[in-house]
C-alpha cells in the first residue's frame, strides 16, 4: 500500500481507477490530512471497506466493483471457468465486509453479470474493468441529476440540517444529500448547512464539515445532542440525509441517529428528505430482515486514540437505524421524487425505469 498526494482533482474524487490500480481518499485521515491510497490487490480493497478507509453506500458499491476488477487482473485462471471461480471467491470476501448498504451487493452482482456473459479470459478482464469504470462515471452523473431534481424543494435562505456524510466522500464524487445541497447553491439560492457530529465515528465533523468547508459552503457543526435545541429554536428549516438501503415500504436504513433526527423533525414540522440513487433500493427484502451492522465497541469507548469510558464497560454499537416512512416527507432519486404513500411512489420509480 502506498500513500500518494498527487491524485488531487479540482473536486473531491473519492474512488478512481488509474493504471490498473484502485485509488481511494483515505477517509480515516480526514480532516487532518488529504491523502490517497493505491491498491493492486482486492483483499486491500476489502480491508479498506471494513476499516472505513472508504465508506458511504455508493462509494463502497463502486469500490467493490473495482475490487472485483483487481481480482480479475490477479487471477491466474487460464479458462473462463477458472476466472469466474476466482471472481466468485473475491466477491464473497468483498461482500462480507459490510452487510447493511445494499449498493455493495448491487455493484458486485453487476460485475459478475458482465463476467459471466464474457467469452474469453482476456475479454472478461477487459469488460469487467470497463464496466467498473462506467459505474464510477454513472455515479457522478446520477448524483448530478438527483441534485437538480431535489434542489426545487429548497428555498433561498434555508438552513438545512444533514446527518453523517452523504457527500462526495460517500460517493465517487458530488454526493447524494450533499449533491442536492451543491445543486441548490448552483441554482443561485443562498443556503446554510448544519452538520451533526455523528458519533461514534464522526462522519459529520470529520467528513461533512471538511467537505463543505473545502467547497466554500456556510456550514456549522453541532453535537448530535443539539438536534432538538436547534430545531426548537427555529435554526433549521429542512433536513436532508442519504441512505444505505431503502425497502419497498419506504423504510430508510441510514447512519445511526437518523431516526432520532427524523423524529425530532416531525415534532417540529420540519420537512425531512432522503436522497438516494435507485441502486440503494432493495425491493426484495422486508425491513425486519435487513441486517444492521454492529461495530466494535472501541468506537464508542474512545474518540480517536483517546479513551473516554471505563475499561470493561458493555457497549451497544449499531452502525445504522431505520427511519419509518411516516417520518419522511420525500425521497429524492435520479428518476424523480417519491412522496407518500411510498409503497406506490417507489414502485412507480421502478416501473418507469
Ligand atoms: O458507516 P458509513 O459511514 O458507511 O455510513 C454512511 C451513511 O450512513 C451514509 O449516510 C449513507 O451511506 C448515504 S451515502 C451517500
Give the distance (Å) from ligand 1 centre to CA of residue 341.
25
* Per-residue pLDDT tens digits of the chain, which is 353 residues long: 445 555 667 789 999 999 999 999 999 999 999 999 999 999 999 999 999 999 999 999 999 999 999 999 999 999 999 999 999 999 999 999 999 999 999 999 999 999 999 999 999 999 999 999 999 999 999 999 999 999 999 999 999 999 999 999 999 999 999 999 999 999 999 999 999 999 999 999 999 999 999 999 999 999 999 999 999 999 999 999 999 999 999 999 999 999 999 999 999 999 999 999 999 999 999 999 999 999 999 999 999 889 999 999 999 999 999 999 999 999 999 999 999 999 999 999 999 66
| pLDDT confidence of residue 304 | 83
Of 202, 191, 180, nearest to 257 (Cα)? 202
> Mutate which of 24, 64, 101, 299 to test ligand 1's pocket (most atoms within 8 Å of Cβ)?
101
Measured distance CA(335)–CA(337) in Å, rounded: 7
Residue showing cell 476466472: 83
pLDDT of 1 reads 46
Secondary structure string (H, E, C) spanning 258-300: HHHHHHHHHHCCCCEEEECCHHHEECCCCHHHCCCCECCCHHH
Q: Separation of 104 CA from ligand 1 center, angstroms?
A: 12
Contact partners, residue 243, CB within 8 Å, separation at least 6: 57, 166, 176, 252, 253, 254, 274, 275, 276, 280, 331
- For a ligand 1 pocket test, name from 30, 64, 254 the mutation site with the most ligand atoms within 8 angstroms of its C-beta: 254
For residue 134, count other CB atoms closer than 10 A to its CB: 13
| Residue of 48, 244, 258 to mutate, ligand 1, most atoms within 8 A of C-beta | 244
End-to-end alpha carbon distance in the chain = 40
CA 124 / ligand 1 centre spacing (Å): 31
Pairing of strands 36-39, 2-4: antiparallel
> Which of the residues are catalytic?
244
User: CA-CA distance, 105 to 282, in Å (whole number)?
Assistant: 10
Ligand 1 closest atom vs CA 167: 15
Gap between the Cα atoms of 298 and 200, Å rounded: 9
Sheet containing strand 15-18, strands side by side: 2-4, 36-39, 21-25, 15-18
CA of 171 to the centre of ligand 1 (A): 9
Ligand 1 centroid from CA 126, angstroms: 30
Residues with CB under 6 A from ligand 1: 55-58, 101, 164, 166, 170-171, 176, 203, 242-244, 254-255, 319
Determine the Cα angle at 100 with ends 73 and 117, to 5°.
35
Q: How far is the CA of 169 from the centre of ligand 1 (A)?
A: 9
**At which residue does the C-alpha cell 466494535 appear?**
296
Q: Which of 56, 139, 198, 318 to mutate to test the pocket of ligand 1 (most atoms within 8 A of CB)?
A: 56
Distance 24 CA to ligand 1 centre (A): 16
**Cell numbers 458499491 correspond to what residue?**
61
Amino acid at each position: 500500500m502506498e500513500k500518494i498526494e498527487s491524485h488531487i482533482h479540482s473536486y473531491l474524487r473519492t474512488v478512481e481507477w488509474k493504471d490498473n490500480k484502485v485509488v481511494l481518499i483515505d477517509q480515516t485521515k480526514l480532516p487532518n490530512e488529504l491523502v490517497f491510497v493505491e491498491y493492486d490487490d482486492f483483499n486491500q480493497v476489502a480491508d479498506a471497506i471494513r476499516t472505513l478507509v472508504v465508506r458511504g453506500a455508493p462509494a463502497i458499491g463502486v469500490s467493490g466493483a473495482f475490487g472485483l476488477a483487481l481480482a480479475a487482473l490477479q487471477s491466474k485462471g487460464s479458462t473462463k471457468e477458472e476466472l469466474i471461480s476466482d471472481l466468485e471467491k473475491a466477491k464473497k470476501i468483498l461482500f462480507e465486509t459490510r452487510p447493511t448498504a445494499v449498493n455493495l451487493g448491487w455493484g458486485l452482482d453487476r460485475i459478475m453479470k458482465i463476467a459471466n456473459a464474457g467469452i474469453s479470459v482476456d475479454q472478461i478482464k477487459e469488460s469487467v474493468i470497463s464496466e467498473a469504470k462506467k459505474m464510477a462515471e454513472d455515479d457522478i452523473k446520477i448524483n448530478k441529476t438527483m441534485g437538480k431534481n431535489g434542489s426545487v424543494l429548497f428555498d433561498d435562505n434555508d438552513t438545512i440540517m444533514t446527518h453523517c456524510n452523504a457527500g462526495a466522500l460517500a460517493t465517487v464524487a458530488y454526493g447524494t444529500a450533499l449533491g442536492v445541497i451543491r445543486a441548490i447553491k448552483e441554482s443561485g439560492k443562498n443556503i446554510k448547512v448544519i452538520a451533526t457530529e455523528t458519533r461514534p465515528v464522526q462522519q459529520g465533523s470529520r467528513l461533512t464539515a471538511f467537505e463543505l468547508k473545502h467547497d466554500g459552503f456556510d456550514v456549522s457543526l453541532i453535537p448530535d445532542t443539539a438536534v432538538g435545541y436547534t430545531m426548537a429554536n427555529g435554526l433549521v428549516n429542512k433536513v436532508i440525509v442519504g441512505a444505505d438501503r431503502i425497502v419497498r415500504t419506504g423504510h430508510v436504513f441510514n447512519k445511526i441517529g437518523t431516526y432520532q433526527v427524523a423524529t425530532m423533525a416531525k415534532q417540529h414540522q420540519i420537512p425531512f428528505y432522503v436522497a438516494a440513487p435507485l441502486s440503494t433500493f432493495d425491493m426484495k427484502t422486508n425491513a425486519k430482515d435487513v441486517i444492521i451492522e454492529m461495530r466494535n465497541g472501541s468506537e464508542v469507548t474512545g474518540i480517536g486514540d483517546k479513551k473516554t469510558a471505563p475499561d470493561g464497560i458493555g457497549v451497544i454499537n449499531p452502525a445504522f437505524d431505520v427511519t419509518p416512512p411516516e417520518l419522511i416527507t420525500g425521497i429524492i432519486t435520479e428518476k424523480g421524487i417519491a412522496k407518500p404513500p411510498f409503497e406506490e411512489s417507489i414502485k412507480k420509480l421502478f416501473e418507469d425505469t
